[in-house]
Amino acid sequence: MELLTINNVWMMICTALVFFMHTGFAFLEIGLTRQKNTLNILFKNIFIVTIGLLLYALVGFNLMYPGFADGSSGIFGFAGFGLSSPLTAEGTLDLAYNQGYTYWTDFLFQGMFAATAATIVSGAVAERMKILPFMIFAVIYVGFVYPIAGSWKWGGGFLQTLETPFYDFAGSTLVHSVGGWAALVAVCLLGARIGKFKNGKIQAIPGHNIPFATAGVLILWLGWFGFNGGSVLSADPELTSLTLVTTCLSAAAGGVVAAIVSTIMYKNLDLTMFLNGILGGLVGITAGADQMSPTDAIIIGAIAGAVIVFAVSLIDKLKLDDPVGAIAVHLVCGVWGTLAVGLFGNLAGVDQFISQLIGVAAYAVFCIVTSFIIIYTLKKTMGIRVSEKEEIEGLDVHEHGMDAYPDFRLNEH
* Averaged pLDDT score across all residues of the chain: 92
Q: What is the pLDDT of residue 250?
A: 98
Q: What is the pLDDT of residue 410?
A: 53
User: 148-175 pLDDT, tens per residue?
Assistant: 999 999 999 999 999 999 999 999 999 9
Contact 29, 325 (CB under 8 A): no
User: 275-284 pLDDT, tens per residue?
Assistant: 999 999 999 9
The candidate with the shortest Cα–Cα distance to 58, out of 181, 162, 147, is: 147
Among the ranges given (37-41, 114-118, 166-170), the one the predictor scored with the smallest mean pLDDT:
114-118
Q: How many CB atoms lie within 10 A of CB 400?
A: 17
Distance CA 364, CA 177 (A): 8
Distance CA 273, CA 260 (A): 10
User: 376-408 pLDDT, tens per residue?
Assistant: 999 999 999 999 999 999 999 999 999 998 876
- Rounded to 10 degrees, what is the CA torsion of 88, 90, 93, 96? -40
Q: How far apart are the first and last CA of the chain?
A: 62
Q: Is the pLDDT of residue 2 over 90?
A: no
- Rounded to 10 degrees, what is the CA torsion of 154, 157, 158, 161? 70
Cα–Cα–Cα angle for 305, 323, 185, rounded to 5 degrees: 90
Taking the domain 2-70+96-400, which CATH number applies?
Answer: 1.10.3430.10
